[in-house]
């Protein structure tokens, strides 16, 4: 929940300060056309860092520098969310074809840069994580039990907000799924293997467990008339600069 509150702050910040601060005296430098910029550090810094952290982690949104995440998701998946935005979350659409500011070449440069900087070869070698994309609908009743058994142990009291419709209204099923499978090293969310801190092997979450938990959380999201349908529309346009 801390993360979500921070996303809202960062999205405001991105709008207010997404602009590049030009220093006086620098005006004689020719400024490249924005669409000509293909440098990863520049593109990432200007468009993504406010929400995903300066180095892909420790920001309010998904830990993109998580090697398990990058091993799990393919380029088409990344292109879909970066280009088209992530409905139901604050993740904006960046591709010009979706109303954003970046060319396809720039989106591809960002994806290549993410992989070059943050992938770790063999990050999931030998492991069999559940698939990145959901292929089957889960069972909400069973999901409630699985949530109690597998999540509530950490997400109780102050962290109970995961089951809060206000939180769920701002997070997509895929974002929840990503979080459960790849984990989020920057905040201490375990990956699907749920390795216990004492080194004893834990029981990994199955695809079915994850589908069930999502069905359960979906039910909570939709059961609240005050919040139904308020999930953020996919935003068009990159943050103003
Ligand atoms: C070993 C402890 C642990 C377990 C087990 C665990 N989590 Fe977490 N989870 C965390 C921590 C720590 C955070 C970061 C807390 C925060 O952001 O306030 C977190 C954050 C999250 C977030 C992000 C919240 C946000 O603010 O964006 C989601 C979603 C989440 N967990 C879902 C789950 C689900 C679903 C399960 C069960 C499958 C689960 N977690 C099991 C420790 C755990
Ligand atoms: C205004 C905040 C914001 C900005 C700016 C932003 N993102 Fe996101 N992004 C989010 C949020 C929120 C999510 C949904 C997951 C979550 O709740 O953490 C997300 C999700 C994603 C996902 C999908 C994660 C998954 O589950 O597979 C990718 C990939 C991503 N962002 C990449 C980028 C890149 C690359 C940029 C810059 C071009 C960028 N984002 C800019 C907020 C932002």
The string of pLDDT tens digits covering residues 2-56 is: 565 566 555 555 444 444 444 555 556 677 788 889 999 999 999 999 999 999 9
Residue 41 confidence (pLDDT):
98
Residue 89 confidence (pLDDT):
93
- In Å, what is the CA distance from 8 to each residue of 2, 51, 171, 224? 10, 9, 12, 21
Distance 28 CA to ligand 1 centre (A): 49
pLDDT digits (tens, 9 = 90+) for 135-164: 999 999 999 999 999 998 888 765 567 998
Residue among 211, 221, 228, 226 at smallest CA distance from 141: 211
- Does ligand 1 come within 6 angstroms of the Cβ of 8? no
For residues 63-91, average pLDDT: 97
Q: 155 CB contacts (<8 Å, ≥6 apart)?
A: 162, 163
- In Å, what is the CA distance from 188 to each residue of 58, 112, 183, 197? 11, 26, 8, 11
For residues 85-100, average pLDDT: 95
Distance 155 CA to ligand 1 centre (A): 6
Contact at 8 Å (CB) between 202 and 194?
yes
Residue in 47, 62, 67 to alter for ligand 2 test, most ligand atoms within 8 A of Cβ: 62
């Amino acid at each position: 929940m801390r993360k979500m509150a921070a996303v809202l702050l960062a999205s405001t910040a991105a709008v207010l300060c997404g602009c590049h601060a030009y220093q006086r005296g620098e005006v004689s430098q020719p400024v490249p056309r924005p669409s000509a910029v293909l440098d990863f550090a520049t593109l990432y810094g200007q468009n993504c860092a406010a929400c995903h952290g300066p180095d892909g982690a420790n920001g309010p949104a998904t830990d993109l520098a998580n090697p398990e995440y990058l091993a799990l998701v393919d380029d088409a998946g990344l292109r879909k969310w970066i280009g088209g935005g992530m409905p139901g979350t604050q993740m904006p659409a960046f591709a010009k074809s979706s109303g954003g500011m970046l060319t396809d070449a720039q989106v591809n440069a960002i994806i290549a840069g993410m992989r070059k900087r943050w992938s770790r070869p063999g990050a999931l070698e030998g492991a069999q994580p559940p698939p990145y994309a959901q292929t089957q609908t889960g069972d909400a009743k069973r999901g409630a039990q699985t949530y109690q058994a597998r999540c509530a142990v950490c997400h109780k009291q102050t962290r109970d907000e995961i089951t809060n419709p206000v939180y769920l209204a701002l997070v997509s099923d895929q974002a929840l799924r990503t979080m459960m499978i790849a984990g989020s090293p920057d905040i201490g969310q375990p990956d699907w293997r749920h390795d216990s801190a004492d080194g004893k092997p834990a029981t990994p979450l199955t695809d079915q467990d994850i589908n069930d938990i999502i069905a359960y959380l979906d039910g909570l999201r939709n059961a609240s008339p005050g919040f139904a349908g308020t999930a953020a529309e996919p935003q068009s346009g990159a943050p103003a600069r």
